[in-house]
Structure 1
């Protein structure tokens, strides 16, 4: 057969090859059909053929021509068999004559279940260049199945056939990941090898592992590791990888995903402009685990163009996602979130650009059961009013109404009474709630006295007088001209605080006396009484 380069082949518009028409057409049914057309003019001049969507582009065509020119004597291995098979199908190399590239590659592909880890990885890397064709051929799924089996059934030690590329990667690149081959569980020996794959390939590989119900904790750890690996350094590639990782994480069990890792992705994504649906999924995952967050995690800078320092709207979306999970208000998780948001309130309150409506929403979005005390809320409101001096009285009152005065300590109420930044009416409300506490305290005091049966003395009468006096204070305060009588109201509040402290002293004395009496008497189960909260 005379070897003449009489055929010009344009492969996918990327590269042009000069080859022998007779040699290639003797193996390729696609070319043979083209040249056998009667309409094709017979000429000694070179012919030109344009191939579109050839698997593997120039690499695939070169491998195919080497097979044709050597009459099938080329090395076929796991690293090139998938490509050769896809090219053979594209070029319709189905002639019964020997050698037949399709038959040869099919026989080699039957050995996929017996490939080493290195051979599996090399095959996956090459499939990245022609992934649609590899999937269509059915061979890609077989490789994924083999990979999943290796991951699930491998021994504790990393395979001895680990790829040299991955070894060099581990040596030369510090990912600062908590998952390292030396310090973490040996179950993650495959992390660095898979981290070298492209995002599209990762999506296929991990989806297969999820379908096979592989440990979700291990999968989530790999996905976080993948984004840290540095493989996706280009902005466009990094964005695509981040979106794919978020979608994969969203399909996992939420309890298997690190909240800290999600915040890490969030901070990276701020500059990537992810698609809206992907960003919403990320926020939703964080929101369901907001009780595991730290204050530093929540202090996320506001988007460019906003005057405020922190992205309060984002935190509010987190809280809405958390509440949408149906967590019971009395749960420990809810208490944790309440404490976290109180700390966040104190941090963001001094922001002069923080709108009153958002500040109020941060306080009121959680149910009452999330907070046992409103002292931190009072502290945040105090800081907010100190910075936002231009607020109207109505705006101040709206903010102060978010405080539950019944959950303020005596010390906070005392501070509020002397605080000129607060509207005078708030002092009256605080006084009213303190009055209610006094009533409860005196009632409990009377109960102690009736149990102990002490001799009558003047103290009980004085306590009743104090109660009557305190009631008069509330009635009087409600009638005050709050502008002119503010100083008088403060004085009354100070007197009220003094009475609270005196009654607490009485309570402590009576508690001691109660303990002595009970020590000498055998308590009856039916007659036992619990001590009042303020006396405990």
Structure 2
């Protein structure tokens, strides 16, 4: 029968052209199939029962009696025509919700006609459900569709991770029948088992390798796909959320690697929830879910994240920040936000400035950015018990860059700026140049703040940790309060003195080395002539010694030139300091003790006088000068 079979589809009708007129019409979800009852009845117990019931209900005798009783006055030929019409209609069957739709029923019908069908991981679940509905059991017919699909499912699909995922994807539209057949549970168990035996590195998230520029921003990204180019992990993101969460719960029950579970959840959230990945603007493959559905899915993913700290990378932190930003937009629960903040805080050193610049979505906050959230994340980072000496330095630079950005916000209060600036411990900053830049930007952007607020903001600076360049800029910065400028001048003077002392030490060491080389052998001159022998001894290193000696002389000259320059700068600072002291004394009528107490200057007046350490040419001159100064002071 299969050799002479052909199919023909016309609109919403499907015909089996075997040379015989069809005697069964089956309506499947609006699609009509014109078939023959004997092939169907031979394979399907359900179709056999339905066709037999139709034949028993609509026999020709019954139809003739009904027609004659209703139309007794009609002629016999009209009754015969009505009987023929009814004979054509009595074998009509209807399936309003057939699993897999018309496509699956077509394959089941072809199987009844002994036509070979191609089983695959994408259609085996629907065919198994169709065979269950049509009762195509082994008891009714040998090697029937149920046994054929079961064998393919267990021997082929469940042996492959990719095929198991593909079959699981097809199960959503087959609920609840596919669930009762155990196909969903078997697919989930197969996936979890095979994943547990794999290398966790295969589950690494695609990394965005960015070129960093100043301030922690990124410019240009290149994406690295998952390891080995394997696409099955991406296919997992197309599984519907209820089945995916069931898979995650099964993975957790089997104590799978936490990194695998976390990366699967992050990748699923990245692909299924719009807005988490700001660099990915591609539309979703299916219709966009509603905000309620997005919120429920996001909260479910967050609550299933492992508590342990897993993957530490900039990609992971970026996704966590994206989820936190989306949680604020969708108004997710506070518990979910706290989980994300804790996750970010455990690896805060991998964040970038772009990650921190989250807009504020709260009606209670007037600031442009969510500063409170960054403060909470920073607190989580500082509360962690792990060794983070190097990480602390990275976070210090990150916070300084963040302060420079938010300092431009006109609604940022001085207290909020101060709290975030002093939240980091002292060892987080090697230099305070970045913090000084933030303070300068804030004071410049907020010229209306009071003098006390200006002093409070500038009070976060440690002038001892400013470089010479920053001190020079701050000393000439008219926006800084007077107290800050005085402190900067004082510590700049100390730095210059230390630099001069170091220069003198280097120069003395260079001269000492030069003299020691020339006086090392008392019986040998620098040109190799001995006192006891008039013979000229030529050494092989004579030229090298001359070069070394000339280099030492040049270095000494350069050092002394730099020393003179710094001495000039010290004198300039002394004059500036003296001028400022006179101005302060005029302002404050209380006296020297009063202005020192007011401005917090704990150093005495004479510290600005550097004549005590005036640089002279030789050590003897320095000693003589110090002695002379000591006697004159008396």
TM tier, smaller: 0.5 to 0.7
Tell me the distance in 2 between the aligned counterparts of 1:364 and 1:91.
74
Q: How does the TM-score come out when normalised to structure 1?
A: 0.59
Determine which of 312, 330, 333 is the counterpart of 2:371: 312
Q: In the alignment, which residue of structure 1 is the partner of 2:343?
A: 285
Give matches, 1:520-535, under 5 Å. none
Cα distance per residue 1:29-67 (max 9 Å; x no partner): 499489969xx9998556674544x43233333333433
1:351 aligns with 2:409: yes
- Whether the aligned pair in 2 keeps the contact of 1:203 and 1:244 (CA below 8 Å) is no
Deviation at 1:130, TM superposition (A): 3.2
Q: How does the TM-score come out when normalised to structure 2?
A: 0.52
Q: In the alignment, which residue of structure 1 is the partner of 2:441?
A: 383
Larger Rg: 2
Tell me the distance in 1 between the aligned counterparts of 2:290 and 2:306.
20
Determine which of 115, 123, 148 is the counterpart of 1:80: 123
1:276 aligns with 2:332: yes
SS in 1 for 2:224: coil
Deviates more, 1:28-37 or 1:333-342: 28-37
Determine which of 145, 149, 166 is the counterpart of 1:101: 145
- Whether the aligned pair in 2 keeps the contact of 1:414 and 1:493 (CA below 8 Å) is no
Cα distance per residue 1:202-224 (max 9 Å; x no partner): 65666656665665556766777
Deviation at 1:280, TM superposition (A): 5.7
- Whether the aligned pair in 1 keeps the contact of 2:483 and 2:599 (CA below 8 Å) is no
Tell me the distance in 1 between the aligned counterparts of 2:439 and 2:433.
10
Deviation at 1:302, TM superposition (A): 5.8
SS in 2 for 1:104: helix
Cα distance per residue 1:118-163 (max 9 Å; x no partner): 75565455445436644443233434454566667689xx9xxxxx
Determine which of 236, 246, 249 is the counterpart of 2:288: 236
Distance 1:116 1:216, change over 3 A: same
Q: In the alignment, which residue of structure 2 is the partner of 1:179?
A: 225
Give matches, 1:83-232, under 5 Å. 83-94=126-137, 96-99=139-142, 100-112=144-156, 115=159, 119-120=163-164, 123-127=167-171, 129-130=173-174, 133-147=177-191, 177-179=223-225, 185-186=227-228, 189-191=230-232, 194=235, 197-198=238-239, 200=241, 227=270, 232=284
Tell me the distance in 1 between the aligned counterparts of 2:299 and 2:102.
29
Distance 1:136 1:284, change over 3 A: farther
Give matches, 1:32-111, under 5 Å. 32=49, 44=86, 49=94, 51-52=96-97, 54-67=98-111, 69-70=112-113, 74-94=117-137, 96-99=139-142, 100-111=144-155
- Whether the aligned pair in 2 keeps the contact of 1:345 and 1:380 (CA below 8 Å) is yes
Deviation at 1:322, TM superposition (A): 2.5
Q: In the alignment, which residue of structure 2 is the partner of 1:499?
A: 607
Determine which of 238, 245, 254 is the counterpart of 2:309: 254
- Whether the aligned pair in 1 keeps the contact of 2:430 and 2:465 (CA below 8 Å) is yes
- Whether the aligned pair in 2 keeps the contact of 1:88 and 1:102 (CA below 8 Å) is yes
SS in 2 for 1:17: strand
Q: In the alignment, which residue of structure 2 is the partner of 1:455?
A: none
Tell me the distance in 2 between the aligned counterparts of 1:108 and 1:225.
31
Count of matched residue pairs:
442
- Whether the aligned pair in 2 keeps the contact of 1:410 and 1:497 (CA below 8 Å) is no
Tell me the distance in 1 between the aligned counterparts of 2:342 and 2:422.
20
Deviation at 1:388, TM superposition (A): 0.4
Tell me the distance in 1 between the aligned counterparts of 2:430 and 2:237.
50
Tell me the distance in 2 between the aligned counterparts of 1:414 and 1:363.
22
SS in 1 for 2:288: helix
Tell me the distance in 2 between the aligned counterparts of 1:492 and 1:304.
39
- Mind listing any 5+ residue stretches in structure 2 that lack a counterpart? 1-19, 64-85, 203-220, 272-279, 499-577, 621-634
Cα distance per residue 1:469-512 (max 9 Å; x no partner): x9xx9xx98x9369xx9999999979969826849969x99xx9
Give the RMSD, CA atoms, in angstroms: 5.9
Tell me the distance in 1 between the aligned counterparts of 2:245 and 2:318.
21
- Whether the aligned pair in 2 keeps the contact of 1:29 and 1:94 (CA below 8 Å) is no
Deviation at 1:236, TM superposition (A): 1.9
Distance 1:480 1:255, change over 3 A: farther
- Mind listing any 5+ residue stretches in structure 1 that lack a counterpart? 159-174, 442-469, 514-536
Q: In the alignment, which residue of structure 1 is the partner of 2:7?
A: none
Distance 1:189 1:261, change over 3 A: same
Deviation at 1:384, TM superposition (A): 0.7
Q: In the alignment, which residue of structure 1 is the partner of 2:32?
A: 17
